[in-house]
Amino acid sequence: MNENKHSIETRALSLWYGEFQALYNVSVDIGHGLITSLIGPSGCGKTTLLRCFNRVNERYGNVKTSGEIRILGKNIYDPDVELIELRKSVGMVFQRPNPLPISVYENVVFGLRLHTPAKELTRARLDEAVEEALTDVGLWDDLKDRLKRKATDLQLEQQQKLCIARLLPLKPEIILMDEPCSALDVEATRQIEELMLELAGRYTIVIVTHNMAQARRVSHECLFMLMGELVEHSRTEDLFINPADSRTADYIEGRFG
Amino acid sequence: MRLRELVNSKELLKEWMIEKLIWICGISAIFFVFGIFFFVFREGADYLLRGFKVTEFFTSIEWYPTSRTQVRYGALALITGTFSVTLLAMFIAVPFGLGAAVFISEFCPPRLRESLKVIIELLAAIPSVVWGFIGLTIMNSLILNLFSAPIGLNVLNGGIILALMSVPIIVSIGEDALKAVPDSYREASLALGCTRWQMIFRVLVPAARNGLLAAVLLGVGRAVGETMAVLMATGHSIRIPGGVLEPVRTLTATIAAELGEAPVHSDHYQVLFIIGILLFSITFVVNLTADLVVRGIRRK
């Protein structure tokens, strides 16, 4: 039953980079199909928390964690968890758009090629996946004649949409976004936000943002973090209008941060 | 007030002088390269324009510069000598060098990385005559024993020595190329569920392709131009090799071996300088290609 309500559950999650503790006993349930914002001042651990969910922060080597993270009911630190499978179902969008230096087409099917045996990948199947994914992010009409173009030559907002599109053929459950709009202008930000709202429901979206107005516009729920601790987790309206914790109130009113 | 102006103008003069001095240091490289080309060309030019048989030089294997009856300058065997040794060296050095570059840049723990880099630089610092000495003694007897070859100084010996000499260049430039690939590509591919190997082969190597190619070409340049080590390790026999266990002689070794014996400004002396021009052209083209390729990366 639990699995239907929450996509991500953490229990007493603590994390250290070497000697430095970045997360303190974070326990949180992130609702299925919702957009959840992680907000808080720089260095509060929100990006660290986000990067735990697909275990991508382990690549730095000096990371220690305790506690557990259950994604779709399964603890991702269990020894039998395949990192590759985890990352297939938990996609990630980064701060700077980072399409790979290959064609638009190859960027979209990159994940499929990794996770599907080559002989199952017919041309038709790949073409279909590309059209579907690009249509979902609203790029198909712009790019359908330029699929062979190098993805790194696109405009930044198109690159960022492409970075979202390339997750979709893998049918992820969860999409993590690490300040996806901080490199984009106002118009592009608006487009990405609209896209997020369209994708919500089908996917659980967790977004880290510095922009409180953005958190307010796009998210159903908000997590406020401070110094590696989770201070408050509630519906977005409640958090902004009627924060339960005085620190949250101080932050959203701009008294610090 | 006037004192201050005086100090200022003195400072300005100093600045001006330092600027010019640095400028001369920078420009001098161009000067030297053209100077060397000019003098090498001048030494060979007379014969090149007078009696030099181009077809014989490139197609005949008969190299008899001191024959009493009929002097012949066929350099084909020397050219194939150079190319066979270089080819074998690259056959060994490219996979090793690029493999090491990938290891150092992607797999190595930081502390080991630093010591490995120091050791590889040390490898680059070994004088070529020492490499030649190793070829002459250790490699020679190894090849004699392992392959029961009639002679241990051959293409294989020279190729291995040259490979060891080119590996440091390939490693350090290849590693730079891989390091220059933005980390965001690594994160993107890992987050999509790549294994490390998939990341290396599908993302990093294509992204660093130009730099890796430049590394290989500079390795080739090193191998083509190397003299002392191949002179000592290849057996010094003028012929087109039929296999790796046959001795050869390279273009560079020929110059080194014969220039001292050839009377100054004789035909023989001038032909050796023509070989020099040929070598210069080969390395020039290889380096230029490498350079253009490297520039290609930056433009993107």
Evaluate whether residue B40 is within a structural domain.
Answer: no
A92 contacts in chain B (CB < 8 Å): 191
Q: Is B192 in contact with A111 (Cβ distance < 8 A)?
A: yes
The predicted structure's pLDDT at residue B1 = 57
Instruction: Work out the number of other CB atoms within 10 angstroms of the CB of residue B117.
Output: 16
- Mean pLDDT is lowest, of A46-50, A60-64, A134-138, for A60-64
The predicted structure's pLDDT at residue B298 = 56
CATH code, domain with B235: 1.10.3720.10
Q: Is B190 in contact with A59 (Cβ distance < 8 A)?
A: yes
* Nearest in space to A13 (alpha carbons), one of A28, A2, A35, A3: A28
Q: Tens digits of per-residue pLDDT, B145-166?
A: 999 888 889 999 999 999 999 9
The predicted structure's pLDDT at residue A3 = 45
Evaluate whether residue B200 is within a structural domain.
Answer: yes
A114 contacts in chain B (CB < 8 Å): 192-194, 198
pLDDT average, residue stretch B171-176: 93
Q: Which of B186, B190, B192, B195 to probe the A interface (max A CBs under 10 A)?
A: B192
CATH code, domain with A110: 3.40.50.300
Evaluate whether residue A257 is within a structural domain.
Answer: no
Considering CB atoms only, which of B193, B206, B207 is closest to A111?
B193
In chain B, what percentage of residues exceed pLDDT 90?
A: 65
Task: Answer yes or no: are the C-beta atoms of A169 and B192 closer than 8 Å.
Answer: no
Q: Judge residue A119's burial from the number of C-beta atoms within 10 Å of its C-beta, 0-12 exposed, 13-18 middle, 19 or more buried.
A: exposed
Evaluate whether residue B50 is within a structural domain.
Answer: no
Q: Which residue of A has its CA nearest to B195?
A: A84
Evaluate whether residue B9 is within a structural domain.
Answer: no
Number of domains, chain B: 1
Number of domains, chain A: 1
Q: How far apart are CA B230 and CA B55, in angstroms?
A: 26
* Nearest in space to A174 (alpha carbons), one of A52, A257, A80: A52
Evaluate whether residue A32 is within a structural domain.
Answer: yes
Evaluate whether residue B103 is within a structural domain.
Answer: yes
User: pTM for this one?
Assistant: 0.83
B182 contacts in chain A (CB < 8 Å): 98
B188 contacts in chain A (CB < 8 Å): 94, 98-100, 163
Structural domain span for residue A119: 2-252
